Chain A
Amino acid sequence: MEYKAPIESYPGVVREVTIGKGNKAIKLGGENILPLHFFDEGSRPNAPKFALELWDMKPEDWPEWGIEPFKDVISDPVAWGKKCESYGADAVCLRLVSTDPSVKDSPPEQAAEIAKKVAEAINVPLIVYGSADADKDAQVLPKVASSCSGMNLLLGPVLKENYEVVAKVALDHGHTLIAQTPVDINLLKELNVRLSKFCPLDRVVIDPLSSALGYGFEYTFSLMERVKQAGVIFKDEMTQMPIIADLGTECWKTREAKESKEQALIWEGVTALSFLLAGANVLVLRHPDTLNLIREITGGNGK
């Protein structure tokens, strides 16, 4: 029997989504090939992008090795955003933790103000995550959308409970949406179908909800793998959006990340590389060392 290299080709293409505006803009997705399958037929016009996150308030439960790279800017979101950029992030992710009703319940206006200042201060696109409290986000995210009008933020999470309120306003102000559903391919497609009624699908990025290694990691991993395959192998239009893996916060809140710096970095690194292999197009990380490591492993010549 003769061996023939099992090279595959794919009929589907992931939509190319642009976030940020003007010379700050970057592109996500656009591939018609499985992740890092450079040996198959197809291409990946845009390499995966890496964002570093910052919080809108001083975090209290981060281990010292999580704070260390940001210790001089940890109370100043604008300086923190610039710091993320200086570490080589392709995008900066502002997490509006303080708006959570169970944290500080800070007002939407304050969040909108901070988002605007951070977005203006940095030269890379801004990703903004609300608290994922559907009701509060329905107040916060529209305000953020309008204060940052025209800047093409990547904004979310847009949930099935609040998409009607959030998505419309966000689109009117020229932003791109993060459509988030809880680790289920059918719910994910259902939300995208609903959004597709009034929203161009190249303005949507999928967030299938990331879990850290050991804390539901395998559900996220397999879901991302299935979503990507549904898009590029089976041409399912409702899964052909770029995928965001918002994993930094999840990894760093585990007790393992708080045990040792080495373990924290490997925990985040393994989670990140795994999701990249599963099909993530943009990863939100916390530690700049993880960003450099994953970029080094996946970006260069494979050495």
Chain B
Amino acid sequence: MPLSGTQIAKLLPNKKGCRECGFPTCFAFAMKLASGGTTLDKCPYLTPEAKAQLEEGLAPLMKLVTVGTGVNKLEIGDEEVVYRHEKTYKHPTGIAILISDKEEEAKVEEKVRKVMELQFTWIGLTLKADLVALQFESGDRSRFLALVKKVIALADLPLMLICEDTDLLFEAYGICADRRPLLYPITEKNIDAVIPKIKERPTPIVVRADGVAQLVPLTAKLKEEKIEEVVLDPGSKNIFDAIRDQTFIRRAAIKQEFRALGYPTVVFPCFLAEGGIKEAVVASAFIIKFAGIIVLSDFDRFSLFPLLVERLNIYTDPRIPMAVEAKVYEVGTPDEYSPVLVTSNWALTYFLVSTQIANSKVSAWLAVTESEGLGPLTAWAAGKFNGDVIAKLFKQTEIANMVKHKKLVIPGKCARIKGETEEALGFEWEAVVGPNEAGGIPAWLPGFAKQVKEGAAKA
């Protein structure tokens, strides 16, 4: 962990009572520093030693690195834990598509379009890939430079430039320097030549070495030069090595507080697998295993979407149950004779129930109560799913005017709220007990829907 308030207080002047930082005491200032609510430069009386020690101690365990600029910029790193159940992961893995300068123009355009246009809506969020990685592979320098020019003209996306020829890499950087591209690779061989160029025009860089330990002298050297927008590539040769290297880097950064490895990483599923389904599944391992960026050789909507959903799932807050908005949802194209089902607003419950309604091939209204993101049974036990909660939802929504019948379906496991629900709704509605599990809906709902429709038509 970074320094605590008490540890910080010991390094402050403490005797002056100057209040120049805006706080009544050094201790108050220290507490605020520890929580990130103020900055060190507010204290004018720090000794140089204390200042250096505090700067080091207050720095995040892993650097935040920003690739690109503007609304599309990608932020990675700044993680605080190893496992997701400890605390929320902060910056979702960036997903890159690899474009070689050997590829045809049409293919290049298609790939750039995929990053821009393959967008998916999922529980009200828009999911999409993040960046393009341009690779020098043709041997023809002008071809690579033309590719960079072409892509920056096509899209305002974050870029990664991959080029083993350092001079060419920086020539390409010159073309798109205002985009803050991520430059790859900086190695033992070119680091001395690269340092002055980066200092002159800062941009994030990937440091590559043959193994985790070999990265350390390189990042140390960069840090001396105050270059810290760094991403790590330990050069892993296969999947097991990559899991090991990613785990070691994350552990070193978080558990050992070893700052020379306190940077985000890049993993190349495009080189670890041979494309297709395998590459997508291999990539999924590194959304879990700590990658800051994964580079894919290609994707289509069916291979990208699962990875986007996985990334969303892994990067959600593990402590808060995921909730959906309390309202009446349409499943299929319901009309005034369609059944009304009621459940609570835990996202998982909502997903399962709406999926199973869809599977039953019956259109229905799904009324979701405000139950603090709990499942129906848990919510019932906590007093968040009962007759009153359901009545409140019915009052707040137009559901009563949307259908020409008075039957609502409650979850089978909450059968005991039937009476109180009918009472809370002024005995205008009949609460029908549905299946125990969402899985029972496809078998049960078609018959019930028919019954509702016939009943309403008769009336």
Which A residues are within 8 Å of any B CB, using their own CB? 1, 3-6, 8, 36-39, 61, 100, 102-103, 132-133, 211, 213-219, 221-222, 225-226, 229, 253-256, 259-260, 262-263, 265-267, 269-270, 273-274, 277, 289, 293-294, 296-297, 301-303
Contacts and interface: CB of A to CB of B under 8 A. Distances in A.
A226 B280 CA distance: 26
B176 interface: no
Given A270-B284, A302-B238, A6 B306 contact: no
Contacts of B306: 213, 256, 263, 266-267, 270
Given A100-B443, A263-B302, 16 more contacts: A3-B212, A6-B251, A36-B240, A102-B435, A103-B443, A215-B355, A218-B316, A253-B355, A255-B358, A256-B305, A263-B303, A269-B280, A269-B281, A274-B310, A297-B278, A297-B281
Contact of B243 (A36, A294, A303): A36
Kindly list the 6 A-B residue pairs having the minimum CB-CB distance in the complex, ordered from nearest.
A302-B240, A263-B302, A216-B348, A102-B440, A302-B238, A269-B281
Contacts of B45: none
B318 interface: yes
B194 interface: no
B355 A254 contact: yes
A3 B241 CA distance: 18
Main DSSP-derived SS at the B contact region? helix
Contacts, number: 146
Contacts of B259: 1
Contacts of B313: 213-214, 217-218, 221
B309 A5 contact: no
B314 interface: yes
A213 B443 contact: no
B341 to A, nearest CB: 15
A1 B284 CA distance: 33
B260 A3 contact: yes
Contacts of B435: 102
A214 to B, nearest CB: 4
- The residue in B84, B122, B244, B314 that gathers the most chain A C-beta atoms within 10 A of its C-beta is B244
- The residue in B213, B256, B313 that gathers the most chain A C-beta atoms within 10 A of its C-beta is B313
A214 B122 contact: yes
Given A132-B437, A216-B351, A225 B239 contact: no
Nearest to A61: B359
Interface in B250-295: 251-252, 255-256, 258-261, 273, 277-278, 280-282, 284-285, 288-289
A270 B239 contact: no
Interface residues of B, number: 60
B394 interface: no
B308 to A, nearest CB: 10
A3 B220 CA distance: 11
A277 B277 contact: no
Main DSSP-derived SS at the A contact region? loop
A253 B359 contact: yes
B278 A296 contact: yes
A215 B353 CA distance: 10
A168 B199 CA distance: 72
B427 interface: no
B212 to A, nearest CB: 7
Contact of B288 (A8, A277, A297): A277
A155 B259 CA distance: 50
B284 A274 contact: yes
Contacts of A296: 278
B399 to A, nearest CB: 24
A5 B212 contact: yes
Interface string B340-352: 0000000110011
A36 B314 CA distance: 19
Contacts of A3: 212-213, 216, 252, 258, 260-261
Contact of A266 (B258, B260, B303): B303
B5 interface: no
B132 interface: no
Given A36-B243, A39-B247, A274 B122 contact: no
A277 B285 contact: yes
Given A226-B85, A265-B277, A39 B244 contact: yes
B277 A266 contact: yes
Contact of B302 (A38, A259, A269): A259
B280 A214 contact: no
A270 B303 CA distance: 10
Contacts of A216: 347-348, 351-352
A274 B288 contact: yes
- The residue in B212, B282, B305 that gathers the most chain A C-beta atoms within 10 A of its C-beta is B305
B23 interface: no
B329 to A, nearest CB: 15
Contacts of B281: 266, 269-270, 273, 293-294, 297
Interface in B144-198: none
26 contacts: A1-B259, A3-B212, A5-B212, A38-B244, A39-B247, A102-B435, A211-B348, A216-B348, A216-B352, A217-B310, A218-B314, A218-B316, A221-B84, A222-B83, A222-B318, A229-B83, A253-B355, A266-B303, A269-B280, A269-B284, A270-B307, A273-B284, A293-B277, A293-B278, A297-B278, A297-B282
Given A36-B240, A255-B358, A100 B277 contact: no
B429 interface: no
